[in-house]
Chain A
Amino acid sequence: MTGILELFDATLALTLVGIAVGVLFARDLFQSIVLFIAFGLLLAIAWCRLQAVDLALAEAAIGAGLTGALFLNALASTKQNSDDRDTLNQQTGHRPSKPALERLPARGIPRWAAPLTFLLAVGLVAAWLISIVAPLANPSVAPQIAEDKGIIQGGVTNPVTAVLLNFRAHDTLLEVVVLLVAVLATLAFAVSTERERSASPASPVLASFVALIVPLMVLVAAYVLWIGTKAPGGAFQAAALLAATGVLIMVAGGRPPSCALLRWRIVLVVGLATFLAVALGGMLGGRFLEYPPSWAGGLILLIEATLTVSIAGILITLFGATWSAGDPGAASHAGDTLATPTTDPSGNTP
Chain B
Amino acid sequence: MTIVDWFSCGSLLFGAFFFLAGTVGMLRFPDVFTRLHALTKADNLGLGLVVFGLALQADTWVVVARLFLVWGLIMLASTTCCHLVAQAALRAGISPWRSPK
B76 touches A213 (CB 8 A): yes
Q: Tell me, yes or no, whether B28 is within 8 Å of chain A by CB.
A: no
Please measure, in the bound complex, the distance between the C-alpha atom of A206 and the C-alpha atom of B80, giving whole angstroms. 6
| Chain B residue with the shortest CB-CB distance to A251 | B84
Residues of A within 8 A of B80 (CB): 205-206, 209
A209 to B77, CA, bound (A): 8
Complex Cα–Cα for A212 and B84 (A): 17
How far, in whole Å, are A205 and B88 apart by their CA atoms in the complex? 13
Complex-state Cα separation, A209 to B84, whole angstroms: 11
Complex: how many Å from CA A209 to CA B82? 12
Known: A212-B76, A213-B76. A205 touches B90 (CB 8 A): no
- In the complex, whether A203 has a CB less than 8 A from a CB of chain B is yes
Within 8 A of B (CB), among A158-186: none
List, in ascending order, chain B residues with CB within 8 A of A216's CB. Answer: 73
- CA of A213 to CA of B90, assembled, Å: 26
Give the docked Cα–Cα distance between A212 and B80 (Å).
Answer: 12
Verify if B87 is at the interface (C-beta below 8 Å from A): yes
- Against B, the Cβ 8 Å flags (1 = close, 0 = not) of A194-216 are 00000000010110010011001
With beta carbons under 8 angstroms apart, the residue of B73, B84, B91 that contacts A205 is: B84
A66 vs B79: C-alpha distance when bound (angstroms): 21
A139 part of interface (Cβ distance < 8 Å): no
- B67 to chain A minimum Cβ distance, whole angstroms, is 15
Chain B interface residue count, Cβ-Cβ cutoff 8 angstroms: 10
What chain B residues lie within 8 Å of A209 (beta carbons)? 76-77, 80
Bound complex: CA A213 to CA B75 (Å): 12
A residues within 8 A CB of B84? Answer: 203, 205-206
Contacts of A110 in B (CB 8 A): none
**Restricting to B15-40, which residues have a CB under 8 Å from any CB of A?**
none
A285 at the interface (CB under 8 A from B): no
Interface residue total, chain A, C-beta cutoff 8 A: 8
Does A3 interact with chain B (Cβ within 8 Å)? no
Closest A residue by C-beta to B86:
A350
Measured between alpha carbons, how far is A250 from B79 in the docked complex, in Å? 19
Output the residue of B73, B77, B80, B84 with the most chain A CB within 10 A.
B80
Q: Which residues of A contact B90 (CB under 8 A)?
A: 350
Query: Least Cβ distance of B41 to chain A in Å?
Result: 19
Bound: A203/B80 CA distance, A? 10
User: Is the beta-carbon distance between B83 and A205 smaller than 8 angstroms?
Assistant: yes
Within 8 A of A (CB), among B36-81: 73, 76-77, 79-80
Q: Which residues of A contact B77 (CB under 8 A)?
A: 209, 213
What's the least CB distance linking B76 to chain A, in Å? Answer: 6
Task: Let me know if B83 and A203 touch, CB within 8 A.
Answer: yes
Cα–Cα distance between A350 and B93 once the two chains are bound (Å):
12
Residues in chain B near residue A212, CB distance under 8 A: 76
A212–B76 CA distance with the chains assembled, in angstroms: 9
Cα A206 to Cα B77 in complex, Å, equals: 9
Question: With the chains together, A205 CA to B73 CA distance in Å?
Answer: 15
18 further A-B pairs in the complex, CB-CB below 8 A; given A203-B83, A205-B79, A213-B73: A203-B84, A203-B87, A205-B80, A205-B83, A205-B84, A206-B80, A206-B83, A206-B84, A209-B76, A209-B77, A209-B80, A212-B76, A213-B76, A213-B77, A216-B73, A350-B87, A350-B90, A350-B91
12 residue pairs bridging A and B, Cβ less than 8 Å apart: A203-B83, A203-B84, A203-B87, A205-B79, A205-B83, A206-B83, A206-B84, A209-B77, A209-B80, A212-B76, A350-B87, A350-B91
